[in-house]
Amino acid sequence: MFTIHAGEYLVGDYIERTFGKRWNVWTPSKDTGIDLLVTDKKNQRTVSLQVKFGKDFLPGKSAELRKQLSCHSWFTLSRVKLDRSEAEFWVFVLPGFASNKPDFIVIPTVKLRWHMDEIYGHKENLQVYLTSTKKSKCWETRTLRNEDLVKIARDTYENPKLDLSKYLNGAGWNALKAKLDH
């Protein structure tokens, strides 16, 4: 039997609550690498999503980091699956331990591949840490030291290669809006 996981449920629920009058959410009957299909209301335009759900590791961090960061999550990605992915977008669900709603990274698959190439080269297994802040920023933080996490918390860190903020929450959903509400 095929069931959806928590991340897929949270993404579908968010889409239905936020865009429900304009979009439909569909789940596949088997695992094809597409976790959710989103269509416009007339089912004429489509967007396919691959969804990844993480756990928040922020509770184990310092008080300063817990105060300024929303979520510090970890994902394992397979380079082969990423390279072969037919999903148009990947959605990373960042469930902040102290937050009543998750953050979402909504990133086109092509852009995700580019960022992973820039950060990791062509490693086969990618250990990706995504850290979101209460100031609506998001960073790939796997390769960073604790001092850099403190700079991220203080909103003084800069590194365009690791900055995924333009895919966070509302900004991330804009690409879907552009395709489905056209």
The CATH number assigned to the domain holding 82 equals 3.40.1350.10
In this structure, is residue 158 part of a structural domain? yes
Task: Give the C-alpha separation, 105 to 75, whole Å.
Answer: 12
In this structure, is residue 1 part of a structural domain? no
Task: Give the C-alpha separation, 165 to 162, whole Å.
Answer: 9
* Residue 2 clears pLDDT 70, i.e. is over it: no
Task: Find, among 130, 51, 59, the residue nearest to 87 by Cα.
Answer: 51
Question: What value does the mean pLDDT take over residues 168-180?
Answer: 94
Lateral strand order in the sheet of 125-133? 69-78, 125-133, 138-140
Q: What is the pLDDT of residues 6-43, one digit of tens each?
A: 999 999 999 999 998 999 999 998 888 899 999 999 99
Q: Which domain covers residue 142, as residue numbers? A: 6-180
Helix (H, G, I), strand (E, B) or coil at 63: helix
pLDDT the model gives residue 31: 82
In this structure, is residue 129 part of a structural domain? yes
Task: Give the C-alpha separation, 52 to 5, whole Å.
Answer: 9
Q: Pairing relation of β-strands 23-26 and 138-140?
A: unpaired
In the chain, the number of structural domains is 1
Q: Which amino acid is at 88?
A: E
Q: What is the pLDDT of residues 57-108, one digit of tens each?
A: 988 889 999 999 999 999 999 999 999 999 999 999 999 988 889 999 999 9
* Residue 45 clears pLDDT 60, i.e. is over it: yes
Question: What value does the mean pLDDT take over residues 134-157?
Answer: 95
What is the phi/psi pair of residue 175, to 5°? -65, -35
